[in-house]
């Protein structure tokens, strides 16, 4: 269940042991919420890292294929041919 700070307000104002216990409980709940927020942020960071690694792996898989290597060779050949034609036109 969701903890509501107001539910302990009256008890924490008491000066007896029950008030101290309620204050300790409130403090522990605060720490749990802070820890949970930190853990959620760490999970987000890890997901980003995993996505980046996965993306690099996919790019590597694509660029290492024979088909991609052939396309690179053809592109380089066409660039050189275009440059050669431009040089002849000048």
* Tens of pLDDT, residues 21-46: 999 988 998 899 999 999 999 999 99
- Please identify which residue in the block is written with the tokens 């605060």: 30
Q: HSE (CB half, 13 Å, CA atoms) of 77?
A: 6
DSSP 16: S
Copy the structure tokens of residue 83: 């440059």
Q: Is pLDDT of 5 > 70? A: no
What is the value of pTM for the model shown? 0.57
* Tens of pLDDT, residues 63-73: 999 999 999 99
- Can you give the pLDDT at residue 50? 96
User: Element (H or E) spanning 41, and its range?
Assistant: helix 17-63
């Amino acid at each position: 269940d969701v903890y509501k700070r107001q539910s302990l307000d009256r008890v924490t104002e008491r000066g007896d042991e029950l008030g101290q216990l309620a204050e300790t409980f409130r403090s522990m709940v605060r720490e749990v919420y802070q820890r949970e927020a930190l853990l959620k942020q760490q999970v987000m960071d890890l997901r980003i890292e995993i996505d980046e690694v996965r993306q690099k792996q996919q790019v590597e898989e694509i660029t290492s294929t024979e088909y991609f290597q052939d396309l690179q060779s053809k592109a380089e050949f066409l660039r050189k041919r275009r440059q050669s034609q431009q040089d002849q036109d000048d």
